[in-house]
């Protein structure tokens, strides 16, 4: 048994649907009992110290113990091309992304990048990630093997594309179905792995491929299905040309059996009213990728409006379209985008999005994303005074939220004091 002492971030509900003051609490004298990789008790420091005198104690002082961050949309193969200059979505894919994804045809390179990505993510406090891969089946094995080595709960699937991608980076409708099925059988539910059926987006899949993946999903409805939706106006116009019989972008998925409660739709910025209604009815989750949406010039997602419709929302870096591996930086960008739309997201809402919200969007909300008994002990410990700039602002604070907010706005990997994975303290990589 291990007893962690510190400030604790405790969420008992959705702070977008209920007043955050009622459902989110920071316990400044909090404690967490961990045993066999699980959280056994959450409470007050003195109570848990008294109840568990034999437990090994780790005292984090005024650091904030949070659920591990959950990054609900990343492309691990794009790790090495993060921060590539000067392009918007389609040109960015053709100039930077596809050439790099081609390099993962080499299984050794795929393994190297998977390890590099996961170590960077962990250093930034991310303990679960939902990743795209490349069209190569071994890129999925590389990712899940590397995640298993580190003990991580993770989600990924083979990225399927059978058109509008260069030679060497296309599969077919049949091979996408066959390879995805074989990978799903190998990985889904193995240890902490979840397999996600992954058509990249409508422009790079023929209707045949979308149908084949829709059929696979119907055979395995407990798997999530991830794809992209309505990220940029040029992309949406292209989809309209490619699918002249579809009512809108969402319909290109819906008509092929690719809309349902376990759908995970990235970006979803420029939505039609019909699309919002159908997403709401279907139970699909939308993933906010704020640093990507500004970096690639995509637009300002209506987070508050969509959350109010009770649509499950997650938060994500979208590495490497996003410009950071850090979920702290991502929370800052989410705050800034909401400000541009006239809403101030509260720090309680931002951390909730990066933990319980993302976990819910991946249907992992009964396992991770909360500090509560019965949850897996994936934790991120935040130093709320990690740099002189943050410390001097936090020192002026009049409330615990005012202490925390500068870390959300200005923090990076230096704010990650520790990470725990399934009850084990993770030794930070030296790189
Ligand atoms: N749409 C289709 N593929 C991608 C991708 O790799 N990144 C982003 N940001 N959008 C996409
Ligand atoms: Zn993406």
CATH code at 73-361: 3.20.20.140
- Start-to-end CA distance of the chain, whole Å, equals 31
CB of 11 within 8 A of CB of 23?
yes
Nearest CA residue ID for atom 7, ligand 1: 321
Q: Residue 17 — φ and ψ, nearest 5°?
A: -110, -20
Q: Which atom of ligand 1 is nearest to the CA of 318?
A: 9
Q: Which atom of ligand 1 is nearest to the CA of 292?
A: 9
> What percent of the chain stands above pLDDT 90?
99
Going from the Cα of 385 to the center of ligand 1, the distance in angstroms, rounded, reads 35
SS3 content of the chain, % helix, strand, coil (to 5): 40, 25, 35
pLDDT score, position 427: 79
Q: What letters, b where the CB count within 10 A reaches 16 and e where it falls short, cover 383-402?
A: bbbbbeebeebbeeeeebee
User: Which candidate, 358, 359, 298, places its Cα nearest to that of 331?
Assistant: 358
Q: Residue 56 — φ and ψ, nearest 5°?
A: -75, 130
Nearest CA residue ID for atom 11, ligand 1: 228
pLDDT score, position 62: 98
Going from the Cα of 273 to the center of ligand 2, the distance in angstroms, rounded, reads 23
323 close to ligand 1 (CB < 6 Angstrom): no
d(CA 227, CA 143): 18
Going from the Cα of 229 to the center of ligand 1, the distance in angstroms, rounded, reads 9
pLDDT score, position 292: 98
Q: Residue 417 — φ and ψ, nearest 5°?
A: -75, -35
Pocket test for ligand 1, best of 164, 200, 293, 297 (most atoms within 8 A of CB): 200
- pLDDT, mean over the chain: 98
Nearest CA residue ID for atom 1, ligand 1: 228
User: Which candidate, 141, 145, 128, 225, places its Cα nearest to that of 183?
Assistant: 141
Helix (H) or strand (E) holding 38: strand 38-44
Report residue 136 as tokens.
């190569």
Span 2-68+369-425 CATH architecture: Roll (2.30)
Where along the chain do the CATH 3.20.20.140 domains lie? 73-361
pLDDT score, position 143: 99
Residue 226 DSSP SS3: strand
d(CA 8, CA 44): 9
Q: Which atom of ligand 1 is nearest to the CA of 203?
A: 2
Q: What letters, b where the CB count within 10 A reaches 16 and e where it falls short, cover 286-296?
A: bbbbbbbbbbb
Which residues of the chain, if any, have pLDDT below 50? 430-431
Residue 136 DSSP SS3: coil
Is the ipTM reported for this complex over the cut 0.95? yes
329 close to ligand 1 (CB < 6 Angstrom): no
d(CA 57, CA 59): 6
Q: Which atom of ligand 1 is nearest to the CA of 266?
A: 10
292 close to ligand 1 (CB < 6 Angstrom): yes
Where along the chain do the CATH 2.30.40.10 domains lie? 2-68+369-425
97 close to ligand 1 (CB < 6 Angstrom): yes
């Amino acid at each position: 048994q291990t007893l962690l002492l510190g400030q604790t971030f405790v969420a008992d509900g959705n702070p977008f649907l209920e007043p955050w003051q009622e459902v989110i609490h920071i316990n400044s004298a909090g404690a967490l009992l961990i045993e066999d990789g699980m959280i056994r008790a959450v409470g007050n420091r003195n109570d848990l110290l008294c109840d568990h005198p034999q437990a090994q104690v780790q005292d984090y002082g005024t650091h904030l113990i949070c659920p591990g961050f959950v990054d609900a949309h990343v492309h691990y193969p794009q790790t090495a091309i993060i921060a590539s200059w000067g392009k918007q979505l389609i040109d960015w894919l053709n100039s930077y992304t596809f050439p790099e994804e081609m390099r993962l045809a080499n299984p050794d390179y795929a393994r190297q990048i998977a390890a590099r990505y996961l170590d960077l993510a962990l250093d930034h406090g991310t303990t679960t990630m939902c990743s795209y891969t490349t069209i190569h089946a071994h890129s999925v094995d590389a990712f899940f093997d590397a995640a298993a080595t580190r003990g991580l709960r993770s989600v990924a699937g083979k990225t399927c594309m059978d058109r509008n991608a260069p030679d060497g980076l296309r599969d077919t409708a049949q091979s996408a179905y066959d390879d995805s099925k074989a990978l799903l059988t190998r990985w889904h539910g193995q240890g902490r792995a979840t397999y996600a059926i992954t058509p990249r987006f409508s422009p790079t899949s023929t209707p045949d491929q979308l149908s084949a993946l829709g059929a696979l999903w119907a055979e395995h409805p407990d798997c999530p299905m991830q794809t992209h939706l309505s990220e940029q106006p040029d992309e949406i116009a292209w989809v309209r040309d490619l699918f002249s019989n579809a009512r809108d972008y969402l319909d290109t998925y819906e008509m092929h059996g690719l809309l349902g409660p376990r759908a995970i739709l990235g970006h979803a910025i420029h939505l039609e009213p019909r699309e919002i209604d159908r997403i709401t009815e279907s139970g699909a989750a939308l993933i906010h990728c704020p640093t990507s949406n500004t970096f690639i010039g995509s637009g300002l997602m209506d987070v508050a409006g969509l959350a109010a419709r009770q649509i499950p929302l997650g938060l994500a870096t979208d590495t490497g379209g996003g410009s950071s591996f850090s979920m702290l930086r991502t929370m800052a960008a989410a705050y800034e985008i909401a400000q541009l739309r006239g809403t101030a997201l509260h720090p309680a809402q931002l951390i909730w999005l990066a933990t319980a919200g993302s976990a819910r969007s991946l249907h992992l909300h009964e396992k991770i994303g909360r500090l509560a008994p019965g949850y897996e002990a994936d934790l991120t410990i935040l130093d709320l005074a990690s740099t002189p700039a943050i410390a001097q602002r936090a020192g002026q604070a009049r409330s615990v939220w005012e202490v925390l907010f500068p870390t959300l706005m200005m923090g990076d990997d230096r704010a990650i004091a520790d990470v725990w994975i399934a009850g084990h303290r993770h030794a930070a990589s030296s790189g």
